[in-house]
A and B are shown apart, each in its own frame.
Chain A
Amino acid sequence: MTQWLGTLIEGVMLGGLYALFAAGLSLIFGIMRLVNLAHGDLIVLAAFVVLVVAATLGLDPFVAAVLAAPVLFAFGYALQHLLLNRTLGRDILPPLLVTFGLSIIVQNGLLEAFSADSQRLKAGAVETASLSLGGGLAVGVMPLLTLASAVAVILALNLLFYRTSLGRAFRATADDPEIAQLMGIDNRSIFALAMGVAMTVVAVAALYLGMRANFDPTIGPARLIYAFEAVIIGGLGSFWGTLAGGIVIGLAQTIGARIDPEWQILAGHVAFLVVLVIRPRGLFPRAVD
């Protein structure tokens, strides 16, 4: 019984990590319906940026991530402005193919620059610290911090979305890009800002990706799938839904792994497909696709 409770807690915490992977994707998918197949590779790219900053300046990964965030914001803004804005339209093939190309470029560029060796962001004592919950239960500080960061990111995104004028512009373009333009909103720069914000969130995701386990240039696509599953389970346009979606995937994976370690990933995918068959628009859809 205690073991199962531990599994459930572990699953929710893992869900926090997946929600972090998914939050940036949820933002851009919700606003511009952009299927960014490079999202997973961008997370890995961000992890390498944090790694380089931490290594060259001799900083703690948390500080390095704070320094990397503005760089990644600028990168996201430029990427959207120079490249991805040109692919948006009624047809989903152009963004799909362009981000596929981008994914291949990022992955192989990282392989060329950093080789296929596994890397890790070293955070020191906090990595192994744990809190006792009593009754033989304990949670790691790192997973707890991951979940707390996910909740904080979702809160911040909700504040940005519903309490600021930029958020109003985000929502307006998400609802109807043409009418938003009539109201004097420049969609292209709104999209570029959205991608900048998404890449800032990616910096947070990359931090926890790199501290939790080893990473190498090839692990991007798998993170992309978990992230998309979380977004779609949660429903289009709902950040809390994305968190819930991440937790569904995390729970399914840890429960699956508890039954048979080889079933971990499979259980997550099956949970995703089951949710889709029952509710094709996700659990908490806000926007109409």
Chain B
Amino acid sequence: MAGAQTPAAGYRAAIGTRATRRVALAGLALFAALLALPGIADRALVQDLIFVFYMLALAQCWNLLAGYAGLISVGQQAFVGLGGYMLFGLAVFAGIDPLLAIVLAGVIAAILALPTALVVFRLRGAYFAIGTWVVAEVYRLVFAQFKQLGGGTGTSLPPEITNTVFGIEFVKDLFGVRTAAARDIILYWAALLLAAGTILAVYLILRSRHGLALAAIRDSEPAAASAGVDNFRTKLWVYVATAAGTGMAGALIYLQKARISPDSAFAVLDWTAYVILIVVIGGIGTIEGPIVGVLVFWLLQTYLASYGTWYLILLGALAILIMLAAPKGLWGYVAERYGLVLFPVRRRLIGPGQR
């Protein structure tokens, strides 16, 4: 990208709006309130919110990948499963604290994303989508071969590992709860941190020069390349970064479930189809979209999941309806209608006399 030129007198480029500071403060207040929530919430709500937070983290990652870098992957379950299995491996065989293992699982997922990218990045568009799915299937079948991790039927995390997770005594004393509830609260905090961290990371990436490059790639790849963006490196970088986030989410998911099998850990429906649905319901290509989407998805799941197959049929119909009727999603509709932006990433030109 060319160096900054001196702007004409009175003009400047700005990202934030006057509301930005207020939104940031409200976001901080919300984060603090959510941190303190386990003090008053019951265990069921805490467990529900763990689900909301990890799905939100997955959705933000997929949104960055597909909505900004144009990499429509249907194989992100590869990194969810990898993260989950890495957590089990590190905690069971290396005796590493599960919370630290979550971070390490993210690092390992990112490292394995590099050779994976070497294969799938040779493909474009629809081929890329199918290729990522096949790669995820390969990972699933390979992990089914590891007899030490339960092979095809899977394995459970021993209770002594989940019950001695870092900070559990502190939480037991702080809230006066039993071990199981304290474990949930620690996982809740970890999930909250992961979701908030992913949102912050995506926001900072999009506000940086890399974000500008990504927006250019999203709008037109040839134009981006001709403006000096290294499309391949930018996409590779996003693929690896989202693999890290997805891998950490996967590790957290299977620390909570405490049981893993190849079929569940590498499930395309749970970890990719639902995530895509969340992003599209909320609005692809915005940070706000996945947040709206995950709340809608949570409501649907809470009130309708007991209907079994009919619930899934409804979700399928919803996916079709949203894509045909409102391809920009709920947030896209609101943002267009009321000009509302909570996470400003776009640079606007401000003329003399304007604020």
Contact = CB atoms under 8 A, between A and B. Distances in A.
A108 B137 contact: no
A262 interface: yes
Contacts of B122: 276-277, 280
Interface string A83-116: 1001100001110111011111101110110000
A9 interface: no
Contacts of B320: 83, 97-98, 101-102, 105
Contact of A273 (B134, B141, B277): B134
Measured as residues with beta carbon below 8 angstroms from the partner, the interface class of chain B is: 35 or more
B316 A104 contact: yes
B268 A221 contact: yes
Contacts of B131: 273, 276
A87 B323 contact: yes
Interface in A225-263: 225, 228-229, 232, 262
B104 to A, nearest CB: 27
A229 B310 CA distance: 31
Contacts of A228: 130
A108 B319 contact: no
A269 B137 contact: yes
B154 to A, nearest CB: 15
B72 A96 contact: yes
A52 B122 CA distance: 44
Nearest to B322: A97
B126 A104 contact: no
A51 B145 CA distance: 36
A266 interface: yes
Given A87-B323, A101-B318, A269 B141 contact: yes
A122 to B, nearest CB: 27
Contact of A101 (B74, B124, B138, B316): B316
Contacts, number: 118
A223 B144 CA distance: 20
A111 B309 contact: yes
B334 interface: no
A92 B316 contact: no
B327 interface: yes
A280 B127 CA distance: 9
Interface residues of A, number: 40
Nearest to A281: B127
Nearest to A100: B273
B9 interface: no
Interface string A34-64: 0101000000000000000000000000000
A92 B72 contact: yes
Interface in B110-148: 118-119, 122-127, 129-131, 133-135, 137-138, 141-142, 144-145
Contacts of B50: none
A108 B313 CA distance: 6
B109 interface: no
B145 A262 contact: yes
Contacts of B227: none
Contacts of A289: 124-125, 127
B296 to A, nearest CB: 15
A276 B277 CA distance: 29
A92 B129 contact: yes
Contacts of A86: 324
A289 B125 CA distance: 10
Contacts of B66: 93
Contact of B130 (A33, A94, A232, A266): A232
Given A104-B315, A265-B141, A280 B123 contact: yes
Interface in B175-189: none
Q: Which of B268, B322, B323, B327 has the most CB of A within 10 A?
A: B323
Interface string B188-208: 000000000000000000000
Contacts of B82: none
Contacts of B214: none
B291 interface: no
State the 7 A-B residue pairs at the shortest beta-carbon distance, nearest first: A101-B319, A104-B316, A105-B316, A101-B316, A108-B309, A101-B320, A35-B126
Given A98-B319, A225-B134, 10 more contacts: A35-B129, A92-B126, A98-B320, A101-B319, A104-B312, A105-B313, A105-B316, A112-B310, A273-B131, A280-B122
Interface of A: 29, 33, 35, 37, 83, 86-87, 92-94, 96-98, 100-105, 107-109, 111-112, 221, 225, 228-229, 232, 262, 265-266, 269-270, 272-273, 276-277, 280, 289
Interface of B: 66, 72, 74, 118-119, 122-127, 129-131, 133-135, 137-138, 141-142, 144-145, 268-269, 273, 276-277, 280, 284, 309-310, 312-313, 315-320, 322-324, 327
